[in-house]
Amino acid sequence: MQSHSTPKTSSRFLLLCGSIIMVFSSYATFAQTASTVPSVSASTGANVSTTPNTTTKAVPAAAATAGLAVNTSTLAFGNVALSSAALETVTLTSTGTTAVTINSASVTGVGFALSGQGLPVTLNPNKTLVLNVKFTPPAAMAESGTLTIRSTSSTSPVITVSLSGIGTAATGAKLTVSTANLAFGGVPLTQSETEPVTLTSSGTSPVTVQSVALSGSNFTLSGATFPVTLNPGIAVTLNILFKPTSANTQTGALTIHSNSSTATTSVVALSGVGDHEVTLNWTPPSSTPVPVAGYNVYRATGTSTAYARINTSTIVQPTYVDTTVVAGSTYSYVVKSMASAGLESAASNNTNVVIP
Cα separation, 268 vs 192, whole angstroms: 19
175-275 has the same fold as 73-168 = yes
For residues 255-276, average pLDDT? 93
CATH top class, domain 175-275 = mainly beta
Give 59's contacts (C-beta < 8 A, 6+ positions apart): none
Containing 137, the helix (H) or strand (E) segment is none
Give residue 349's pLDDT.
95
User: Residue 30 — very low, low, confident or very high, per pLDDT cuts 50/70/90?
Assistant: very low
For the chain, percent of residues with pLDDT exceeding 70? 82
278-354 CATH choice from 2.60.40.10, 3.50.50.60, 3.40.50.2300, 3.30.390.30:
2.60.40.10
Question: Across the chain, what does the average pLDDT equal?
Answer: 84
Contact 348, 299 (CB under 8 A): no
Cα separation, 68 vs 96, whole angstroms: 7
Q: Give me the residue spans of the domains in the chain.
A: 73-168, 175-275, 278-354
What is the per-residue DSSP string for 22-62? Answer: EEEEEE------GGGS------TT------------PPPPP
Query: Which CATH number does 73-168 carry?
Result: 2.60.40.10
Lowest mean pLDDT among 36-45, 184-193, 247-256: 36-45
Give residue 61's pLDDT.
61
For residues 228-238, average pLDDT? 96
Give residue 21's pLDDT.
40
CA–CA distances in Å: residue 214 to residues 141, 181, 240, 241: 43, 14, 9, 11
How does pLDDT run across 33-85, given as a tens digit for each residue? 333 333 333 333 334 344 445 455 555 666 889 999 999 999 999 988 777 88
Give residue 59's pLDDT.
54
The whole-model pTM stands at: 0.48
Give 330's contacts (C-beta < 8 A, 6+ positions apart): 301, 302, 303, 352, 353, 354, 355
For residues 18-32, average pLDDT? 40
Give residue 33's pLDDT.
37
Which residues are bridge partners to 281 per DSSP? 319
CA–CA distances in Å: residue 94 to residues 147, 152, 325: 18, 11, 84
Give residue 42's pLDDT.
34
Cα separation, 67 vs 62, whole angstroms: 15
Q: Which long-range contacts (CB under 8 A, 24 or more apart) does 55-61 make?
A: none
How does pLDDT run across 289-342, given as a tens digit for each residue? 888 999 999 999 999 999 999 999 999 999 999 988 988 899 999 999 999 888
